[in-house]
Structure 1
């Protein structure tokens, strides 16, 4: 079967066929915009500057509209305005956006529209089929599995993805599907949500001419079949790709130079004195014609083309229709106000699949912690309960707690990848920050507990810490709390500054700070009051170190030297040092372990709440 010419044939039950109709029915007839203007403050002059100037147009069901223009022409700004997204920081936006002659709120608009980013925000450790299935589950959590599978099968066939449906999207160390296939998966995973209007930001960016034509061919075919309005910004398409669009909006310096059918482009430009030469890519010719940014170009030509269009003498009737008082006929593409518990299942499913497949994000971290445990266990191998080994015990405790939490920086890239996907799906109205944070916590806790056990099984017994089961599990508890707090810090910083390098640097710096003020490298009584009162008491590593110290020393004794010279007070013991004497030297009291656990949980909760607040605050 040729997916370019035939509608895919599927063996569906009546209920599955009915579910597929959700993608076909209740289409939006038209989307129009009138006098859209975006104004910002010019940094050089301080005066208002229009980056989009009085742009109008209309797109109808089944049409694919191209927004085209040279760099800086305003096409991306227009795409964001039409998608009800923030166009430019501190910009003044005006104009009228009408869906079937009705103005919708941004929330209502998001319920009928989807946006595909320029960069493919996909989970590399999922297959193409799983990516679309999870998108279907997120957008239609109350549908049956059979219904969602039917939608997935339809789109896999419609976009020519059956041959790679069970291939991983691809990670930095595992090759996956091609760039063109990734772009088709990105579009299909948005179409499965049943949008009436689909926005594509540079859908052919980074693709060769063949892959670009392939992607847009599938988009055009699906738009016609499902009666979807597709609006895409595009830069310098090939002739074949350009001809796949139904309409063109050509921009230059924020103004329209043409808006109309693609097949009427040659006629129009010939009528205003700029015929397109034969055997020339019309898209390239038009971009060169309206580009006034480079030296040697005639600035008068773009201005004359803008004036010719604005005069209206050649302009087709493409202005937005006048508003009527008829009530809106729209139905949302998915149930609104989905509860966090409803979307939590597909989020958890996706996170679990990623956790055991993504070798770079998870497997490498397990290997890293295993290596760290072997190194610690063999460096501090079989420590003896003699006074000359007391400092080695303390050093091993510090290393085991501080460096385990420090290595949480390895979680930064994996979390940022998840966050990128969340930002895309949140912008398309699938779920919010609470559901995302809950899924991250639920999947992360067993993983961190597994690391704690793995590390402890190796390092604890090799180093000869207290040799009983209860003490072993208490050690695991402290290590687990340490890792949970450290990973919560990673989540907070990565949400606040979602840049890999900067987040990595901040988390590493913070852990270095915690080591410095924790009480081991520099005694707390001698610590500068600023560092003590501002940072020491919020240092989760300090409470873990104190807890581990009390756990190790409170019930142990250590032999003095052969001539009974003891480096710590012996109390009532003869030639033996009680572990409590070591704790007294560090100023660590007994009986406060419960309080320290509570403080650790509180610090972790604060990091998570701050991370959640950062998710709400940052929309990017």
Structure 2
């Protein structure tokens, strides 16, 4: 087992990807192109199918990855072996679970990931950060399982890992240490500390060797240790380039040589051991089982089709009978009876196109697993594509039968078997093609947000050339090809022809001739749609194909290439080539000695310096004879309050790390100690939830999460909440901070006092809560993030005071040098993990709170950065602040920063007292903590004791009972009354400690102004969505302008085309707003976080959520109308053009506020996207375009009043056609317009009537949005 270690950004994951052949671009030197296929790669994040059991997950993995010739017994044997080896046998029938469903624990999930990838028992195993986010006990479980796999079959394991415990670290055989992409040590793990000691680096006996060598690699300590008598030439911070040269010149460096006669490539196993049919069969079985258990998605599809089917059937009830003439010979336009039938058929086409829109987010989730499994060689693209083409057919066909049966018979279309069968087959093909288009978008786009932004453009193109909105004979010459590639055209033409040809109502030939469908045969459509579906599906296959690798491989690279052209390849060049070739040989031929040989220890390269300590190897180091003196922080070790040494700080060094004293020096200008702080006392604290199905619940069905928990955090103290996974740490922290969700299913009782008084809003305003996740706006800079936080959280402050506070807090936390850097996120490169965590702390303490809660502040950070973060927190406590913090696996130096420890086990108090006394306390129960053991960590010891992992392995409940009977508990109870009395009588402080009558730190005006400014700055700096939105409106405007260019007047006025352009203008500005749904969900967690901190209320967020995005919407609509209106044949007067913009803008705002309402009311993004097209069809149906309003039954006549699209469409049509002599020539203008307007139900209305109705719709949507923010909460803590 080889550990790849180094500080953050050292290149560990990059090197692992190079060795595993997972890089897609770049240049690699060293001859590592031929990778062995007998290997597996376990990624850092776990990805599984949540509704499969652990056993089923492994069974399908075995069927996919092991040879076809294997029997069932062989597959079962392999699965059982891995279940046993990974310690998963007892949960083999448990569901894996997902973010929405309860499943196995994090440690079990990681072991399952390893088991899946190791199902072939390969010779080489790659693991990327397998212990990230796990506590020390679970980390040991995971790595012990990996060690067993390594020992059982003589396998090689290459593993990136940071902050491992001493027990995890000792499981490794070799170590490869990286710093800025350079190898600074490679060799036996147990000799690494000795090597660096010989370079002059000194470590304390209780320092974890893994932490020590990472600090060396990160430039956190000096060669020569902390002895000021050592010459500066030996004690300065050495650069990675220096350390690399020193290692290569040392006796520890043993270059690897490759046997030129070996042929690793010839030993490669086949990448896919099964043929295409076997892969397809296995994937199909897995997909069918997964879909069968995905009841939530299936039910949502069924309910959606039932609702839309009934809605369509009611709206078009018996409109398909066509008992009267279908053509008006006076207006030379279809009568309502004929128009409604063609509208019904067009509605069916539109719904079939958009009916699979909600599948895009689901397909993106499946795509993630597909890419991983294909990269692992589980299957190729072809069988996955074949499976995905078929596995969803049962649900698609079933829901289509449901929808068509509900709609068809209610509408009253021809009931003969030929027409019914044709209608079903035709619309089913449209449904399938639209589903394949959804798959194509998911396969081609980078995210679901991009796919949903592209969809409206695709929808508009396809629907406009179907033959309903633009008559085929009126299509512009430059677009004459478009109807031939629009599959809705072929489907719609067949539907219209069959319906009228079978029924043969009076004058039906005029209808067919009007739409250009008179010269057609029904089966032509089917013959076109079937190959169309096949073609689109093959396009999906092409989009799923893996991209061509852009990696270039070379044998070597000269030094001048490195200087002039290879800066970006620094982490993947020949410095790592010897390891790569050795590992490849190991994977193909067993132990390295069979193909590679290492020189003996006395063999040394002749072209490198002979002295590892004194030789100056780079120009960027300070010469030995330099008169420059080293800065004192590099030579003098600061002391903690207890007098123990802390790792040396390096404020001017390469990494810019900080110790407690470093932070203190940077805080000398801030007067935090002028306040008294808050004392928190809790006793007999109980919390339980109603969970009758849980086997641990009592006879009343209550599951006790916390029982009789007690503790105290005084001013100036740091209290650590620790325990094994599931002990109740985060639950207790949420309760203390007032963030726990309490409802009818929960029970909370006990004593919880702040300065001797119950919790109150003024008291909680003096506290801050730093959550485990770093939630910020990625496009903002650090300075902007802090300035906006200061504006929201500081009371009665001016701009200069806020700016000064930002600079002071930034200096105190060591982030003042990155104030102008972007925060960053998944799509935007930003600051590092440690800087991000310190920014989270800075945001919360910007108001200088007296009580600070932190939830796992060091998760995902290496030991050096973790210590930086906690040193900053310690400094806050030194200024009389109270700090309560959950933390797991802290190194000894970080653990010693705490004053008190509250250790939990099964939700009960296992120990409360001084940190230093904890190991001694457990000695009386037979536990032995060896302080002299190298790398001993008291934090890991106490967590292992509480979890039952340390000998003599007493049950956690037994330890809790012993604590309740101990002197520590008795002493706490005796001091409880005295402490509470002291808290109540603290002088110079009001009991509530804050102004009464105030709810939030800043005024309502300041909250709204700040939130609006923050949203505007975010939008302006995140240019990709901004540019994409502008380009989308320009492209669609040009598209509409070109297909509706120069609409004709009399004698053949294009009335239907004018109505179509009005309608689809409103459709585009409405559907384009659906991209705001993912944006709102991205910001939901930040809103929950800030609302929970009482930074602002629902009203402020609601108000600015509408106001801040309105200007951009108005600009986009203005661009769209400015391009479209002059190109079309609309009226050319300014009044009509301005009114057109007003109605389009108001309708777009209605769509925006409607999407915001859906996002607030929906639990998940997928459910909101599912609801959008289904509910939008309600507004479309009553808009007056698809269904002419006078044809509605009396009991539905008032329903169109609630459709904002009805009022928008009506206004635009009146604006265009009323008194338009170009369309209706004099002297019959009024007569012709009246006949047309009465048929559409708009006669007698003024165009300005729609404006107040649109405003009312906006008000209703905004009202429900506010009510959703106020009463609907999906954050459960």
TM-score by length of 2: 0.39
1:619 Cα deviation after fit: 6.6
1:365 Cα deviation after fit: 2.6
Give distance in 2, aligned partners of 1:94 and 1:362. Answer: 51
Give distance in 1, aligned partners of 2:31 and 2:86. Answer: 34
Give distance in 2, aligned partners of 1:420 and 1:201. Answer: 17
| Equivalent position of 2:477 in the other structure | 529
| Equivalent position of 1:600 in the other structure | 529
1:181 aligns with 2:117: no
The 5-angstrom pairing of residues 447-458 of structure 1 reads 447-458=395-406
Per-residue CA deviation, residues 580-611 of structure 1 (Å, 9 max, x unaligned), is 43222111135433332232223222222222
1:543 aligns with 2:490: yes
Give distance in 1, aligned partners of 2:236 and 2:486. Answer: 64
Against the structure 1 CA distance between its residues 321 and 302, is the aligned structure 2 distance closer, same or farther, given a 3 Å change threshold? Answer: closer
CA contact (8 A) 2:272 2:379 kept: no
| Equivalent position of 2:65 in the other structure | 139
Corresponding residue to 1:419 among 338, 346, 367: 367
TM-score by length of 1: 0.78
1:114 aligns with 2:43: no
CA contact (8 A) 2:345 2:492 kept: yes
Corresponding residue to 1:95 among 27, 30, 37: 30
| Equivalent position of 2:294 in the other structure | 358
Per-residue CA deviation, residues 510-560 of structure 1 (Å, 9 max, x unaligned), is 123212232222323333334442x332111222222222222211144xx
Corresponding residue to 1:244 among 171, 185, 197: 171
1:347 Cα deviation after fit: 0.8
Give distance in 1, aligned partners of 2:267 and 2:3. Answer: 26
1:611 aligns with 2:559: no
Per-residue CA deviation, residues 192-216 of structure 1 (Å, 9 max, x unaligned), is 1231111112222333433333222
SS at match of 1:67: strand
1:69 aligns with 2:10: no
CA contact (8 A) 2:2 2:176 kept: yes
Against the structure 1 CA distance between its residues 164 and 536, is the aligned structure 2 distance closer, same or farther, given a 3 Å change threshold? Answer: farther
1:424 Cα deviation after fit: 1.6
Against the structure 1 CA distance between its residues 545 and 430, is the aligned structure 2 distance closer, same or farther, given a 3 Å change threshold? Answer: same
Against the structure 1 CA distance between its residues 592 and 241, is the aligned structure 2 distance closer, same or farther, given a 3 Å change threshold? Answer: farther
CA contact (8 A) 1:139 1:334 kept: no
- Tell me whether 348-357 or 582-591 shows the greater mean CA deviation: 582-591
Give distance in 1, aligned partners of 2:507 and 2:281. Answer: 55
SS at match of 2:28: strand
Give distance in 1, aligned partners of 2:500 and 2:470. Answer: 20
RMSD, aligned α-carbons: 2.6
Give distance in 2, aligned partners of 1:616 and 1:314. Answer: 46
Per-residue CA deviation, residues 165-198 of structure 1 (Å, 9 max, x unaligned), is 2222223432222222222111101111231111
The number of residue pairs the alignment matches comes to 523
The 5-angstrom pairing of residues 446-525 of structure 1 reads 446-525=394-473
CA contact (8 A) 2:360 2:441 kept: no
Larger radius of gyration: 2
1:306 Cα deviation after fit: 2.4
Runs of 4+ residues deviating >6 angstroms: none
Against the structure 1 CA distance between its residues 446 and 464, is the aligned structure 2 distance closer, same or farther, given a 3 Å change threshold? Answer: same
Give distance in 1, aligned partners of 2:309 and 2:183. Answer: 64
Per-residue CA deviation, residues 380-405 of structure 1 (Å, 9 max, x unaligned), is 22324244332222222212221222
Against the structure 1 CA distance between its residues 289 and 370, is the aligned structure 2 distance closer, same or farther, given a 3 Å change threshold? Answer: farther
1:152 Cα deviation after fit: 1.0
SS at match of 1:123: coil
Against the structure 1 CA distance between its residues 239 and 537, is the aligned structure 2 distance closer, same or farther, given a 3 Å change threshold? Answer: farther
| Equivalent position of 1:555 in the other structure | 502
SS at match of 2:82: helix
Corresponding residue to 1:323 among 259, 264, 272: 259
Corresponding residue to 1:82 among 19, 36, 45: 19
The 5-angstrom pairing of residues 290-305 of structure 1 reads 290-291=217-218, 300-305=238-243
Against the structure 1 CA distance between its residues 337 and 182, is the aligned structure 2 distance closer, same or farther, given a 3 Å change threshold? Answer: closer
Give distance in 2, aligned partners of 1:228 and 1:619. Answer: 31
Corresponding residue to 2:124 among 197, 220, 223: 197
Q: Which has the higher contact order (CA 8 A, sep 6+)?
A: 1
| Equivalent position of 2:824 in the other structure | none
1:307 Cα deviation after fit: 2.6
SS at match of 2:30: strand
1:311 aligns with 2:240: no
Per-residue CA deviation, residues 106-147 of structure 1 (Å, 9 max, x unaligned), is 4xx22x111122222322221111111001001123312222
Against the structure 1 CA distance between its residues 619 and 164, is the aligned structure 2 distance closer, same or farther, given a 3 Å change threshold? Answer: farther
Per-residue CA deviation, residues 242-297 of structure 1 (Å, 9 max, x unaligned), is 33322221100111111122222222221211122232233333333222599xx9
Give distance in 2, aligned partners of 1:455 and 1:92. Answer: 55
CA contact (8 A) 1:173 1:360 kept: no
Give distance in 2, aligned partners of 1:393 and 1:298. Answer: 86
1:346 Cα deviation after fit: 0.7
Give distance in 2, aligned partners of 1:149 and 1:611. Answer: 35
1:284 aligns with 2:231: no
- Tell me whether 169-178 or 131-140 shows the greater mean CA deviation: 169-178
Against the structure 1 CA distance between its residues 392 and 329, is the aligned structure 2 distance closer, same or farther, given a 3 Å change threshold? Answer: closer
Give distance in 2, aligned partners of 1:389 and 1:208. Answer: 71
- Tell me whether 64-73 or 498-507 shows the greater mean CA deviation: 498-507
- Tell me whether 542-551 or 433-442 shows the greater mean CA deviation: 542-551
Against the structure 1 CA distance between its residues 203 and 590, is the aligned structure 2 distance closer, same or farther, given a 3 Å change threshold? Answer: farther
Give distance in 2, aligned partners of 1:266 and 1:236. Answer: 16
1:420 Cα deviation after fit: 1.9
Corresponding residue to 1:217 among 144, 161, 164: 144
CA contact (8 A) 2:271 2:377 kept: no
Corresponding residue to 1:348 among 260, 263, 284: 284
| Equivalent position of 2:999 in the other structure | none
CA contact (8 A) 2:88 2:108 kept: yes
1:82 Cα deviation after fit: 1.0
1:258 aligns with 2:258: no
| Equivalent position of 1:37 in the other structure | none
Give distance in 2, aligned partners of 1:217 and 1:619. Answer: 38
Against the structure 1 CA distance between its residues 589 and 169, is the aligned structure 2 distance closer, same or farther, given a 3 Å change threshold? Answer: farther
1:361 Cα deviation after fit: 4.2
Per-residue CA deviation, residues 347-401 of structure 1 (Å, 9 max, x unaligned), is 1111111111123544423332232222212222232424433222222221222
1:126 aligns with 2:52: yes
Give distance in 1, aligned partners of 2:474 and 2:135. Answer: 65
- Tell me whether 506-515 or 343-352 shows the greater mean CA deviation: 506-515
1:105 aligns with 2:34: yes
| Equivalent position of 1:101 in the other structure | none
Against the structure 1 CA distance between its residues 303 and 129, is the aligned structure 2 distance closer, same or farther, given a 3 Å change threshold? Answer: same
Against the structure 1 CA distance between its residues 525 and 212, is the aligned structure 2 distance closer, same or farther, given a 3 Å change threshold? Answer: farther
SS at match of 1:555: helix
Against the structure 1 CA distance between its residues 394 and 207, is the aligned structure 2 distance closer, same or farther, given a 3 Å change threshold? Answer: farther
Give distance in 2, aligned partners of 1:541 and 1:154. Answer: 54
Against the structure 1 CA distance between its residues 513 and 206, is the aligned structure 2 distance closer, same or farther, given a 3 Å change threshold? Answer: farther
CA contact (8 A) 2:2 2:158 kept: yes
Against the structure 1 CA distance between its residues 428 and 491, is the aligned structure 2 distance closer, same or farther, given a 3 Å change threshold? Answer: same
| Equivalent position of 1:10 in the other structure | none
1:442 Cα deviation after fit: 2.4
Give distance in 1, aligned partners of 2:440 and 2:220. Answer: 42
- Tell me whether 164-173 or 149-158 shows the greater mean CA deviation: 164-173
